[in-house]
Amino acid sequence: MAKLNDRQQAAVEHVGGPLLVLAGAGSGKTRVITEKIGHLIEHAGLDPQHIVAMTFTNKAAREMRERVGKRLPRDVVTRMRISTFHRLGLDLLREEHHHLGLRPNVSILDTEDTSALIRDLGVSEPDRIKLALRWISDQKQALQSPDDVAAAAESEADATLARLYGQYEAHLAAYNAVDFDDLIVKPTRLLQDNETVRLRWQQRIRYLLVDEYQDTNPVQYSMMRALVGIRARFTVVGDDDQSIYRFRGARPENLADLKTDYPELEVVKLEQNYRSTSRILRSANSVIERNTRLYEKTLWSALGEGTKLRVINVPDDTAEAERVITMMSTHRIRSGDRWSDYAILYRSNHQARVIEQALRAQNIAYRMTGGRSFFDRAEVKDLVAYLRLLANPDDDRAFLRIINVPRRELGPATLQRLGNYAQERHCALLQAAQEASSLGMISGRQGAELARFCNWHERLSRTAAHMRPDHILAEMISELAYRDWIAATTPDKPRADRKFKLIDDLMDWTRRLAEDERSLEDVVNHFSLVDMLDKQDSGDEADEVQLATLHASKGLEFRNVFIVGMVDGILPHENTDDVDEERRLFYVGITRAQTTLTLMVPRQIKRGGELVDVPSSRFLEELPETDVDWPDDVADAAEQQAQKARQIEALRARFGAKQGSGTG
């Protein structure tokens, strides 16, 4: 293993106080975190159980744990906590639930659940539901309660939103549920307000490491400060130049707050890049230096100059996609690279459609980062909802999801009666259904179906207390005849087989979790967190071209990168009021490339079904002239023809060689 450079070594060995590691793109930050954990245990005398490393996604946490597992013995790693902010928040919330007025079997509501709740509270239009949830999230991240918001209301509109927020929180309490923000907000408020709880957790966490610190929001920073206390023994690793998630609440200003809140803060800059050639890095530096930056840093590389960046003009976005495929195919034949060595990056998801069409037309395999989640599939959502209702009988969203799955012919009128009764009794829908059934309030076939469901749930709830979660799931699927229902309601066998495969995958996943002695509640909450933090990934080993938005590309690297849509209105985006963040997004795209980078500039793009003229992105003017090729239209057209000729010639040579290589 290569020796750490001087700056990396300094970051590893500093343990006496607060430390900020400014880790430029490709500068080896993951290795620094891994080595620092080893140093804390082997040289600073810290017990592994008192070290916590936090990041933002389950995937990042898994990768960090794998890297640490290669550095330290397995029994040491299992005593550490390497997790997301939200996982730590959930653990704290579950242990300290009695301080928060919650019962142990708390549910986590996903976006679909919270959207349905807002709809139940009288907001019907999808756009208004999204706006309401975004507004509530903003209040929570600012640690503002409904009472705080109501007290500050300056208009009737403000007061209306405050009432909606209050009703939303009251319903969450009734469900014994939390939303995604609450996994950070509630523990942070508790740590701030309850000294006993705060000191208990500070004693457990003697050293804190935070990766991707520039992505923290205000409440995550508040949580971190509460956990480290006055000892302030922490290392945060981040890069303000790669802060691209303000729309999610990320606040790069947290870097500035560190200097204010911790005057003794040490800063170590990692500027040597181990990923890209010098031309790529000079281009990245030239772009990002236009921004106002808290810390100046200049990436450099010892990997050589490399080839120049190319800026390619094309007539429109259709021609752009076709040209990218031609250039990529030709380069692959000449270089011997795999399809997986190529990435096509774009600012917005809608740009991918024409690229997908061009790839499919050439039978080129591809995959998209950030695809549809495993937990977005109806079959998975159904079965997880059943598990949720077993774990938490007060989970009304889960009840409504599964009461007619499989079909029980309980119509809207019956469910409305149950809802009204539950509201009058101030109880959950399941309890209302049990009482309505026993009192004979709903008669006929619907009454019989409701009674059958309630009796089944009550019986399974009793036996579930003594069963492994995977055995509960298997028994549930069998008793519901869920597979038979899928077969009967799916129009063709291939589609049904795909649904059966999803069910099998869920059962396998539940079995693996159960082998770690996880309870039903643990399994349900694990699934909820995975769903909200990560999207289902296809295998990294597949030889496929990678398609990704610039946001989704962060943390990835590829030998050859194409960035499409380099026009004003797309990058920077026409709806942005923060050009600095758009420039950081471009910087992230540039620094994904290891050896070649091509920027595509369509003269026209489709808007409303019509082609419209668009100017080139202003960011192109910020690239260094000496490191970029700008072929003119004539030369570009000639090069395209030459590329096609080379492609044909290379194919002839390849197939000719194969035909002549037989043994006879």
Closest CA to 327 of 629, 642, 567: 642
Q: 103: helix, coil or strand?
A: coil
Where are the extended beta strands (E) located within 354-512? 366-368
Q: How far apart are the first and last CA of the chain?
A: 47
Closest CA to 559 of 573, 580, 545, 541: 545
- The answer to whether 209 touches 51, Cβ cutoff 8 Å, is yes
> Dihedral angle at the C-alpha atoms of 95, 169, 392, 430, nearest 10 degrees?
160
Question: Residues 209-234, buried b or exposed e (16+ Cβ, 10 A)?
Answer: bbbbbbbbbbbbbbbbbbbbeeebbb
**Residue 162 Cα distances to 120, 129, 136, 145, 529, angstroms:** 16, 15, 9, 9, 28
Q: Which two tokens stand for residue 458?
A: 């009550």
Q: Phi-psi region for residue 448, left (φ > 0), alpha (ψ -120 to 50) or beta?
A: alpha
Beta bridge partners of 267: 20
∠ at Cα 529 (523, 533), nearest 5°?
A: 150
Residues whose CB is less than 8 angstroms from the CB of residue 591 and which lie 6 or more positions away in sequence, other chains included: 25, 26, 273, 275, 276, 280, 281, 284, 299
Question: How does DSSP classify residue 5?
Answer: P
Question: How does DSSP classify residue 549?
Answer: E
Question: How does DSSP classify residue 263?
Answer: T
SS3 content of the chain, % helix, strand, coil (to 5): 60, 15, 30
Closest CA to 316 of 74, 605, 591: 605
Residue whose entry in the numeric block shows the structure tokens 């991707």: 212
Tell me the C-alpha distance between 337 and 341, whole Å.
6
Number of Cα atoms under 13 Å in the Cβ half of residue 516 = 10
Which residues are marked as active site? 29-30, 211-212, 242, 592
Closest CA to 118 of 61, 181, 56, 168: 168
Closest CA to 237 of 529, 14, 558, 6: 14
Question: How does DSSP classify residue 231?
Answer: G
